Amino acid sequence: MPLPPRTLNGARVGITDTTLRDAHQSLFATRMRTEHMLAVAAYLDRVGFYSMEVWGGATFDTCLRYLKEDPWERLRQLRATIVNTPLQMLLRGQNLVGYKPYADDVVDAFVHRMVDTGIDIVRVFDALNDVRNIERAAESVKHAGAHLQGAICYTTSPVHTIDGFVAYAKQLRDIGADSICVKDMAGILAPRAAEELVARLVSEVRLPVQVHSHYTSGMASMTYLKAIEAGATAVDCATSTVALGSSQPPSESLIVALAGTEYDTGIDVRRIRPASSILKQIIDNTPEYHNLIGPLQVSAEVLTYQIPGGMISNLRAQLKEMHAENRLDEILSEVPRVREELGWPPLVTPMSQIVGTQAAFNVILNERYKNISNEVSNYIRGNYGRPAGTIDPKLAARVLNGEQPVTRRPGDGLEPGMPSARKAVERFGGDEFDAISWALFPKETESYLAGKA
Ligand code: CO
């Protein structure tokens, strides 16, 4: 499927508005409620964005777990309100919107239902850039008739190179990607690196290139400009009210910066004003949002720690609950050590949680690897896919205990998940959508359905 048409004539660069997904995921732990989304959705829809990212990532889980809302109903309502702009979502490959690989039948059911409900563009990534974890989701997205955007998780490490990212993008193209996204979840993509990577993707992969970054390190606006000059045709921004910090760069600044140039977005910046002022009111009047928002100044540490926006925001919230906020800095410096020992996985879901939790164990228990999480063990056994680097042999030996890690595709060898999920929701009068939620998050879905009944 080709790119959806630009919403305004003459636009050379499109903006994906992340206000309703990544912006609040990164700034206030994904807590934005559907009613607040609906209060601004129609205004955002009139702006002329290339697309609006409104679903996926951590929003599905948070809906059920914390907000006691139905993520499917949210999507239906957003689709009914947003009638001009293509809707985009973020899919974690075989992990869907969860934290571990699911069986292929769950992948198929999830993708088909979300596309039927109104998703136009599906951005698919795998935390380890292991294409085997994207294959099945890609096939489903194509079959369902949506735009497949294959995302490269950008990171820096001794084992990650521009050549490697370009080779991976070609694999994404070969499984049917309609466009490529450079996904810089931590905001560490430097302008010069973006320029080189985008130029090579444009000339060697020959698909439209979109760049996704975070403002955490303060580089994202510079990076976008260089990426656009190198041929990127779309970038991700958020309404100024929920931009900066660990969120995206503000749309308004980019629109004005590019106005009148050969990269004009075709958007009249004044169109964003109604949405940004309504959002400001909502946040000001909602303590559970503004209490979670961390400092909005540049976090220079991210350049060392490579921690994505959502991860910092969640770590801060978790430590607050444990009254252990004073150990955040120690945990942040433990993260790169754990990452190296695990073969340099990019810090993106679920690896950001897996590495972050292990780093927290290592610090809070005052002994490194005193406790090895189940997820780290499963990762070392190969159940999440293949890392780019090598896992620390001593750590691996301790976990494997003489066994060999698995080499098959992580989705293989998983029992189908839908038949038992359908049966489980029967007693609540649940439908197919509830069954999919159950297959992903049984506990949370059970308590949601029980509460509804
Ligand atoms: Co992001």
Query: For residues 40 and 19, is the Cβ–Cβ distance under 8 A?
Result: yes
Give the Å distance between the CA of 185 and the centre of ligand 1. Answer: 4
User: What pLDDT is stored for residue 5 in this prediction?
Assistant: 43
Question: Can you give the pLDDT at residue 321?
Answer: 84
SS (H, E, C) the chain: CCCCCCCCCCCCCEEEECHHHHHHHHHCCCCCCHHHHHHHHHHHHCCCCCEEEEEECCHHHHHHHHHCCCHHHHHHHHHHHCCCCCEEEEECHHHCCCCCCCCHHHHHHHHHHHHHHCCCEEEECCCCCCCHHHHHHHHHHHHHCCEEEEEEECCCCCCCCHHHHHHHHHHHHHCCCCEEEEECCCCCCCHHHHHHHHHHHHHHCCCCEEEECCCCCCCHHHHHHHHHHCCCCEEEEECHHHCCCCCCCEHHHHHHHHCCCCCCCCCCHHHHHHHHHHHHHHHHCCHHHHCCCCCCCCCCCHHHHCCCHHHHHHHHHHHHHCCCHHHHHHHHHHHHHHHHHCCCCCCCCCHHHHHHHHHHHHHHCCCCCCCCCHHHHHHHCCCCCCCCCCCCHHHHHHHHCCCCCCCCCCCCCCCCCHHHHHHHHHCCCCCHHHHHHHHHCHHHHHHHHHHHC
- Cα of 184 vs centre of ligand 1, distance in Å, is 7
Measured in Å, residue 196 CA sits from the centre of ligand 1 at 21
Cβ contact 94:139 at 8 Å: no
Q: Which residues of the chain have pLDDT under 50?
A: 1-2, 4-9
Half-sphere exposure of 360 (CA within 13 A, CB side): 19
277 with 309, same domain?
no
Q: What is the tens place of the pLDDT at every residue in 274-315?
A: 999 999 999 999 999 988 887 777 776 677 777 766 677 678
Q: Distance from the CA of 212 to the center of ligand 1, in angstroms?
A: 7
Task: Please report the pLDDT score of residue 310 as a whole number.
Answer: 64
What distance in angstroms lies between residue 214's CA and the mean position of ligand 1's atoms? 6
30 and 170 assigned to the same domain? yes
Ligand 1 center to residue 225 CA distance, Å? 18
Question: 246: CA distance to ligand 1 center in Å?
Answer: 9
CA 440 vs CA 61, 97, 100, 397: distances in Å:
9, 8, 9, 31
Where residue 219 falls (left for φ over 0; alpha for ψ -120 to 50; beta otherwise) is: alpha
Q: Within this chain, do residues 191 and 327 fall inside the same structural domain, yes or no?
A: no
Q: Is position 370 within any domain?
A: yes
Domain that holds residue 424: 418-452
Whether 407 is in a domain gets the answer: no
Q: What is the pLDDT of residue 6?
A: 42
Ligand 1 centre from 298 Cα, in Å?
16
Distance of alpha carbon 154 from alpha carbon 168, whole angstroms = 11
Q: How far is the CA of 247 from the centre of ligand 1 (A)?
A: 7
Cα-to-centroid distance, 22 and ligand 1 (Å) = 6
How many angstroms does the Cα of residue 26 sit away from the middle of ligand 1?
Answer: 7
Query: Ligand 1 centre and the CA of 96: distance in Å?
Result: 16
Say if 346 falls within a structural domain. Answer: yes
* 81 class by beta-carbon count within 10 Å (0-12 exposed, 13-18 middle, 19+ buried): middle
The answer to whether residues 280 and 318 belong to one domain is no
* Ligand 1 center from residue 248 Cα (angstroms): 8
Gap from CA of 90 to ligand 1 centroid (Å) = 9
Last residue of a domain, one of 290, 312, 343: 290
Q: Around 420, how many Cα atoms within 13 Å sit in the side-chain half-sphere? A: 8
What span, in angstroms and rounded, lies between the C-alpha atoms of 260 and 298?
Answer: 29
Distance 312 CA to ligand 1 centre (A): 12
Same-domain status, 286 and 355: no
Contact yes or no for 81/52 (Cβ under 8 A): no
Question: What does the pLDDT read at residue 8?
Answer: 37
Say yes or no: 396 and 350 in one domain: yes
Predicted local confidence at residue 10, as pLDDT: 53
| 144 CA from centroid of ligand 1 (Å) | 25
CA of 186 to the centre of ligand 1 (A): 7
235 shares its domain with 328: no
pLDDT at 1: 46
367: domain CATH number is 1.10.472.90
Q: Separation of 453 CA from ligand 1 center, angstroms? A: 35
CA–chain centroid gap for 150, Å, is 12
**What's the domain count of the chain?**
3
Considering the domain architecture, whether residues 308 and 442 belong to the same structural domain is answered as: no
Residues 141 and 216 in one domain: yes
The domain boundary, picked from 374, 400, 426, lies at 400
Which token pair is 196?
């080189």
